[in-house]
Structures are given as structure tokens and as C-alpha cells.
Amino acid sequence: MKDFLISQAQTETTVLVALITQTQNERKTNEYLDELAFLAETAGAEVVKKFTQRIDIANAVTYVGKGKLQEIKEYVSEHDIGMVIFDDELSAKQIRNIEKELQVKILDRTSLILDIFAMRAQTANAKTQVELAQYKYMLPRLTRLWTHLERQGGGSGSARGGSVGLRGPGETQLEMDKRIILSRMALLKEQLVQIDKQKATQRKNRGRLIHVALIGYTNVGKSTLMNLLAKSEVFAEDKLFATLDTTVRRVIIDNLPFLLSDTVGFIRKLPTDLIESFKSTLDEVREADLLLHVVDISHPGFEEQIEIVNKTLVDIGSTDKPSILIFNKIDAYTYVEKAFDDLTPRTKENLTLEELTKTWPAKLNENSIFISARDKTNLEELKNLIYAKVKELHVQRFPYNDFLYQMYEGL
């Protein structure tokens, strides 16, 4: 994606829009808006206001109702806002109609995530995967996109830097049509086939060491944990999608070697076909022998994040693997005691950390552990748990390896 990427976005002011529906209550909507704000800030935008509307289902024409759209329009005009971001994937018709009414840049959740992918991609592999994902998203929205970009005037590939949502393909070649994009997508797919072959060869050349993969929702601390276990310097940052390229390290715990990989974080509402653009990255998960599912226990929606990761594993065919559930960030967990009348069906909100530690291991047959990667709390206990699992897999893989048995007996 040469000339498509920039290192840092210029700051843009934006407002966020989300719906409270029959299937998404106010609490969940506010939680999702907080995540969307984090995404926007990661992309370089400044969030100044959040709009919500109660509605049964999204308006097929303008996403929100006419009155709410007018309210947003007045605020955007009065405060000179340059961008509005919606917390769902919008259709081409919705984007066109909203843009016509508001007269500012319109992004949806998917385009924002792809923009962050573009900003984070460092290797040729990641850049190729991101570019293909962006074209997949762009293809059904071509007519709207060219009109939008012409009004924006120029693209983010210029020397002046770029703006949120314009870091992808197309910003400097407005005349690109569907035929050209399809041709480009075919070329990218061919490149990814070659990359997949190279990656497969690399995995084969690693030998028969047990392969352990760190997985989880984005920004749960996978890279920090990778650094602790592998004693390496993998890039870790308190931002969404800080890791886009897969990193593999050789780790030794008590003389027992294995391979540990750090993978791209999952996130809700990311279409499966876009996830599949990262096939070579996800192959690290598919071919892993053991999954370390890292969870941010301090996040109010950690249970839903677990469900999203598990659903993604189903989508990519990786549910049949042994796993350890690692509840990270216990140092950031907060407990607020509530009166009985204030309790909600989400009773875990009124559980202490000690109560949680007793609840989850019971559900998972003790295949879970509570840690703080930042404070290194229970890190040795985690290493012991990983060691036991990797040793078990080693014995299964090398049942007649005298050397391994001698090594275990001496430990």
C-alpha cells in the first residue's frame, strides 16, 4: 500500500452516533460508544460529543430518524465539526443520504477500523492484507466514495499527511472504477497466496515445537504478556490494534521450549469477510496447539468480549483446541457495592474480584487464572499452568522420546 499510509493523523473533531434498540439497551450502547471513542482517538480524532437515539431498528435511509439527523446537523454546523462516525456499518445509500444532509465526512465503524489497520500496518504482509480488506469494503460503495473524496479535495497520501478515514486506497486516484479495483484485488489475492506459502514454509521450518498463540479482544494486554513470557520487546501500547503483524518468539519455561505468537486482536462488528483478509495472520491461530485467551477483567463488558472472541474462533474454525483463559488487569478491577434494589441481571457487576476468581475456575475446570501483566501478579503461577499444558502436549506428540521423559523427571 505504498503512498497510502501515514505515520500520524492530523487531529480532527468528530461526533459519534449510536442507536438504543430492542436488542441493544442503553448501557450496552454507551459501552459501545466508549469503545468507538477509543477507536476514533486511536485514529487521531478528537471526540467532542456522542448522540444516541431510541429506535426499534436502524432507519434504512438515514440510520437515525429525521429529527435526530436534524439535531446532529445543527450541532455539527454550530461547532464546525468535520466528521461524524456511526457505530454500525452503513450501506452506500445511508452514507450518501447522511452525507448529503450533514455536508461533512461520514465514517462508519468498519471504515474507521480499517483506517486504524492502515495506520498500524508495518510489514508488506500486513499492508497487503489491509489493502485487500479496504477494497472489499470500498467495492459496494464506489459511487458514494468518489463523490465524497472529490469534495474532500486530494488524499491522505500527500506529503501534508492524511485524515481519519482517508488512509486507504483511492484517495489519489479518483478515476479508479470497479474494473480496476477488481483487477487490483485479484493481484492482492495472488500476492497473499504467495505470502501464505512463505508463512507455511516458515511454520514448517520451526520444527515440531509446540505452538502456543495469544488471542483475545483488542487492547487486553496480549503484547505486554508476550514481552513478559518471551523476555522480548514486542510493541505494546494502550491503544486499539497496537499489534497488527503476528510476532513469534521461542520461549523456555523450566527447560521446556515452545513457540509463542502474538496475534491481532478481535473486535465486535467486524465482518467475517474482512477478518478473512488477514488469513495468514489467523493461520497462526488455526495451527496453534494451545490458545492463551487473554481477557481484560477490568472492562465492564468482558463477558461479551469473551463471547466475541469465541465466535470469531468458530468463524475461522479454531474451536477444537485446548485453551487457558487468562484474566488480565486485576490491578485495574473496581468493585462498587450496590444495594439489592440496584442489582441488574448482570450480577457480576456486584461481584468482588475474589468472588470472580472462585466463579470462573469452577466453570472452566480450573483452566483459568487471574493475573496482572503490569504488576506481574500471579505471573509465576501462569508460567506453571502453561508449562503443565505444554508438557502434556509434548508427551502426546513425542510419546517415545526418552530425552523428553528424562528431562521431565529431572525437573
pLDDT of residue 405: 46
pLDDT of residue 124: 83
Mean pLDDT in residue range 207-224: 90
Mean pLDDT in residue range 17-44: 94
What is the distance between the alpha carbons of residues 388 and 132, in angstroms, rounded to a whole number?
A: 40
| Stretch among 85-99, 313-327, 347-361 having the lowest mean pLDDT | 347-361
pLDDT of residue 20: 97
Q: Which three cell numbers stand for residue 397?
A: 506428540
pLDDT tens per residue across span 283-303:
888 889 999 999 999 998 899
* Residue predicted with more confidence, 401 or 261: 261
pLDDT of residue 163: 62
Mean pLDDT in residue range 299-325: 91
pLDDT of residue 155: 43
- The answer to whether the CB of 242 falls within 8 A of the CB of 235 is yes
| Stretch among 46-60, 102-116, 219-233 having the lowest mean pLDDT | 219-233
262 falls in which pLDDT band (50, 70, 90)?
A: confident
| Stretch among 159-168, 219-228, 363-372 having the lowest mean pLDDT | 159-168
Task: Note the pTM of the prediction, 2 decimals.
Answer: 0.79
Q: What is the dihedral of CA 73, 76, 80, 83, to 10 degrees?
A: -110
Q: Are strands 256-262 and 368-370 parallel, antiparallel or unpaired?
A: unpaired
Q: What is the dihedral of CA 178, 180, 181, 183, to 10 degrees?
A: 120
pLDDT tens per residue across span 143-201:
555 554 444 444 444 333 456 665 555 444 445 568 888 899 999 999 988 888 887 77
pLDDT of residue 118: 85
* pLDDT at residue 214 is higher than 50: yes
* Distance from the first to the final alpha carbon of the chain: 50
246 falls in which pLDDT band (50, 70, 90)?
A: confident
Q: Are strands 211-216 and 247-253 parallel, antiparallel or unpaired?
A: unpaired
pLDDT of residue 75: 98
3-state secondary structure the chain: CCCCCCCCCCCEEEEEEEEECCCCCHHHHHHHHHHHHHHHHHHCEEEEEEEEEECCCCECCCECCHHHHHHHHHHHHHCCCCEEEECCCCCHHHHHHHHHHHCCEEEEHHHHHHHHHHHHCCCHHHHHHHHHHHHHHHHHHHHHHHHHHHHHCCCCCCCCCCCCCCCCCCCCCCCCCHHHHHHHHHHHHHHHHHHHHHHHHHHHHCCCCCEEEEEEECCCCHHHHHHHHHCCCCCCCCCCCCCCCCEEEEEEECCEEEEEEECCCECCCCCHHHHHHHHHHHHHHHCCCEEEEEEECCCCCHHHHHHHHHHHHHHCCCCCCCEEEEEECHHHCCCCCCCHHHCCCCHHHHCCHHHHHHHHHHHCCCCEEECECCCCECHHHHHHHHHHHHHHHHHHHCCCCHHHHHHHHCC
Residue that the C-alpha cell 469503545 belongs to: 35
- The answer to whether the CB of 118 falls within 8 A of the CB of 4 is yes
* Residue predicted with more confidence, 307 or 402: 307
Q: Which three cell numbers stand for residue 3?
A: 503512498
pLDDT of residue 9: 42
* pLDDT at residue 236 is higher than 70: no
* pLDDT at residue 97 is higher than 90: yes
Q: Which three cell numbers stand for residue 122?
A: 508495518
- The answer to whether the CB of 266 falls within 8 A of the CB of 216 is yes
pLDDT of residue 5: 34
CA distances in angstroms from 29 to 10, 53, 86, 322, listed in the order given: 28, 10, 12, 33
Mean pLDDT in residue range 21-37: 94
User: What percent of the chain is modeled with pLDDT above 90?
Assistant: 45
pLDDT of residue 354: 87
Mean pLDDT in residue range 246-274: 83
